[in-house]
């Protein structure tokens, strides 16, 4: 063995000498055994040490704890009173390959989308009042790690304060190219909640056309495209406001959808200078009509308006408003309202003699009986009329004046722009 030198021992004389020699040999052999054991180590360790390196080696190693690669951070586990449009937030070591599934008590999946940059799942439909939901978050399997976690929460009970939401238009209607989409609310919506409301009102036009919502008041919001609707377009809008927060303690009552159509293009242009109306259908002039506009004391408004409503026969009564000297009560045929202040396109047989030459009306666009009927039979709610050259400019809000603003100005009325 390396490090051990041979030793020569002389045999002592006599019996006592022999006993001493034998003792020396035994001592030397014992020392050699101990030195050999100390150098061997590893698997050749002495059996009295239990086959390991010391007493501690006899104990089996503890297993490493299983780590989770995903966790739901919001809503908190078993949370109650959760809002119906709440996002689900999660942590993940691999967000790009993480899936999130939210199911109700029956196992039906709630529609939603995962934002992998923000590590959250957003519902695309309202969850039901008072119902319990389970979140399951999963990533690809990783060795020694748990790749799936679940968490549950319960949506708030149906609140007492609900805001009614209505659409001015209904399924199946055909309207003019200037018709705004109009949503009305049963309660004023504070500004800080309007962006969330807009996000839940999605308009789809075929062919596609850029458009935006514009708040005309705290209780009404309109939508128009950048330019007039394309003739023949199909328009579908989905309003998902059930459960959407609309104020402190107030929530949307319901969802709705509207499927409608845009008709042919009809644009009416009235010039005070020429006292004529030019009617274009799908870009082609189909009629030029003599008109009489408002006299200087009661001028017609210059601006772009649309047909709001149509009444084949009605009565104009301004006696209470203007008094017996200026007021009047007159039966009117083929009336088409264009402002809230009382301006109409209508037949006026009493002014036919001056139509095309001078203005004698109280602000309306007067045409003959024949032309009044001709127009009435062809127009749609939402058809456009632009008046130019009068003494008074149209005030925004006096009718559906969505087209009386530039696109840049109109976008400023959106909570999202």
**Which of 213, 188, 191, 217 lies closest to 200 in space, CA to CA?**
213
Out of 3.10.310.70, 3.30.540.10, 3.40.50.2000, 2.60.40.3710, which CATH number does the structure's domain 162-263 have? 2.60.40.3710
Q: 414 with 408: CB under 8 angstroms?
A: no
Residues 6 or more apart whose CB falls under 8 angstroms from that of 103 comprise 109, 110, 133, 134, 136
User: What backbone phi and psi angles, to 5 degrees, belong to 77?
Assistant: -55, 130
Query: What confidence score (pLDDT) does residue 76 get?
Result: 97
CATH number of the structural domain 67-155: 2.60.40.3780
Residues known to be catalytic: 346, 364
Domain boundaries, the chain: 67-155, 162-263, 266-407
User: What backbone phi and psi angles, to 5 degrees, belong to 411?
Assistant: -65, -25
**Which of 385, 382, 386 lies closest to 175 in space, CA to CA?**
382
Spatial separation of the C-alpha atoms in residues 153 and 14, rounded to whole Å:
100
Q: Let me know if 31 is exposed, middle or buried by CB neighbors in 10 A (0-12, 13-18, 19+).
A: exposed
The alpha carbon torsion through 231, 232, 233, 235 (nearest 10 deg) reads 120
Q: Do 67-155 and 162-263 agree at the fold level?
A: yes
Spatial separation of the C-alpha atoms in residues 351 and 365, rounded to whole Å:
11
Per-residue pLDDT of the chain in tens (417 residues, 90 and over written 9): 444 444 444 444 444 444 443 444 334 334 443 334 333 444 443 333 334 444 444 455 555 544 557 899 999 999 999 999 999 999 998 888 899 999 999 999 999 999 999 999 999 999 999 999 999 999 887 655 668 999 999 999 999 999 999 999 999 999 999 999 999 999 999 999 999 999 999 999 999 999 999 999 999 999 999 999 999 999 999 999 999 999 999 999 999 999 999 999 999 999 999 999 999 999 999 999 999 999 999 999 999 999 999 999 999 887 777 777 777 788 999 999 999 999 999 999 999 999 999 999 999 999 999 999 999 999 999 999 999 999 999 999 999 999 999 999 999 999 998
Out of 3.50.50.60, 2.40.440.10, 3.40.50.1360, 3.40.50.300, which CATH number does the structure's domain 266-407 have? 2.40.440.10
Whether pTM > 0.75 for this model: the answer is yes
**Which of 166, 226, 177, 173 lies closest to 201 in space, CA to CA?**
166
Q: 157 with 129: CB under 8 angstroms?
A: yes
Spatial separation of the C-alpha atoms in residues 409 and 171, rounded to whole Å:
30
**Sign of CA pseudo-dihedral 189, 194, 196, 198:** positive
As a residue count, the chain comes to 417
Give strand ranges (E) for 83-131. Answer: 88-92, 99-104, 112-115, 120-123
The alpha carbon torsion through 315, 320, 322, 327 (nearest 10 deg) reads 40
Residue carrying the six token digits 């696109």: 407
């Amino acid at each position: 063995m390396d490090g051990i030198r041979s030793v020569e021992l002389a045999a002592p004389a006599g019996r006592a000498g022999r006993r001493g020699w034998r003792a020396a040999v035994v001592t030397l052999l014992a020392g050699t055994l101990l030195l050999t054991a100390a150098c061997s180590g590893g698997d050749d360790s002495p059996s009295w040490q239990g086959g390991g390196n010391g007493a501690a080696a006899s104990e089996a190693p503890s297993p490493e704890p299983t780590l989770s690669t995903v966790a739901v951070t919001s809503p908190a586990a078993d949370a109650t009173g959760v809002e119906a449009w709440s996002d689900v937030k999660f942590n993940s070591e691999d967000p790009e390959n993480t899936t999130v599934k939210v199911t109700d008590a029956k196992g039906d999946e709630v529609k939603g989308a995962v934002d992998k940059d923000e590590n959250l799942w957003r519902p695309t439909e309202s969850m039901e009042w008072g119902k319990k939901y389970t979140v399951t978050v999963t990533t690809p399997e990783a060795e020694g790690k748990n790749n799936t976690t679940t968490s549950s929460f319960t949506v708030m009970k149906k609140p007492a304060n609900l805001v009614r939401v209505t659409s001015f238009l209904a399924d199946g209607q055909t309207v003019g190219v200037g018709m705004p989409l109009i949503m009305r609310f049963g309660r004023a919506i504070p500004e800080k909640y309007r962006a969330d409301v807009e996000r839940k009102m999605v308009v789809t036009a075929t062919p596609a056309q850029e458009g935006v919502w514009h708040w005309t008041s705290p209780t009404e919001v309109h939508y128009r495209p950048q330019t007039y609707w394309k003739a023949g377009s199909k328009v579908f809008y989905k309003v998902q406001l059930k459960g959407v927060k609309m104020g402190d303690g107030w929530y949307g009552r319901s969802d709705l959808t509207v499927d409608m159509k845009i008709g042919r293009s009809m644009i009416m242009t009235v010039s005070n200078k020429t006292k004529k109306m030019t009617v274009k259908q799908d870009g082609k002039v189909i009629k030029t009509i003599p008109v009489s506009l408002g006299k200087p004391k009661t001028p017609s408004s210059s601006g772009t308006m649309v047909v709001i409503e149509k009444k084949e026969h009605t009565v104009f009564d301004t006696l209470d408003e203007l008094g017996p000297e200026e007021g009047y009560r007159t039966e009117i045929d083929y009336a088409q309202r264009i402002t809230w202040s009382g301006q109409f396109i209508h037949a006026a047989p009493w002014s036919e003699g001056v139509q095309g030459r001078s203005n004698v009306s109280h602000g309306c666009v007067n045409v003959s009986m024949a032309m009044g009927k001709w127009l009435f039979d062809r127009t749609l709610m939402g058809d456009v009329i632009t008046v130019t050259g009068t003494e008074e400019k149209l005030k925004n809000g006096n009718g559906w004046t969505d087209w009386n603003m530039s696109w840049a100005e109109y976008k400023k009325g959106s909570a999202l722009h």
